[in-house]
Amino acid sequence: MSDQSKKLYVGNISFQANEQDLSDLVSEKGLTATSVAIISDKYTNRSKGFGFVEFATAEEAEKAIDLLNGQDLKGRELKVNMARPKEDRPRTGYRDNFSR
């Protein structure tokens, strides 16, 4: 079983929410996450409005989708589904010209 089947993508996270808020919501639903991360912009350190929650088993991850999808967190309705593998994206843009 791949680790990817235990990892959930959580979108539409309020910019006012932090990892502890998301972790608390998971716990309130009777779930135990092995990790919770909200992704932030590396230049501004501002939340990008999405994150990932990982569970010990694929079964618990499936249960979490049912319990968390559509739940309100700080005024926004969460969108929760299985995380897809990270894709390699071509580097483009101004900053990339200086990283070679």
Domain boundaries, the chain: 3-84
CATH 3.30.70.330 matches 3-84: yes
CA dist 10 → 4, 14, 43 (Å): 14, 11, 22
pLDDT band at 2 (very low <50, low <70, confident <90, very high): low
pLDDT band at 10 (very low <50, low <70, confident <90, very high): very high
Name the burial class of residue 78, with classes exposed (0-12), middle (13-18) and buried (19+) by CB atoms within 10 angstroms of its CB: buried
Whole-prediction pTM value? 0.83
CA dist 52 → 65, 75, 82 (Å): 12, 19, 9
> What are residue 53's DSSP bridge partners?
8, 36
pLDDT higher than threshold 80 for residue 93 = no
**C-alpha–C-alpha distance, residues 10 and 92, integer Å:** 26
pLDDT higher than threshold 90 for residue 8 = yes
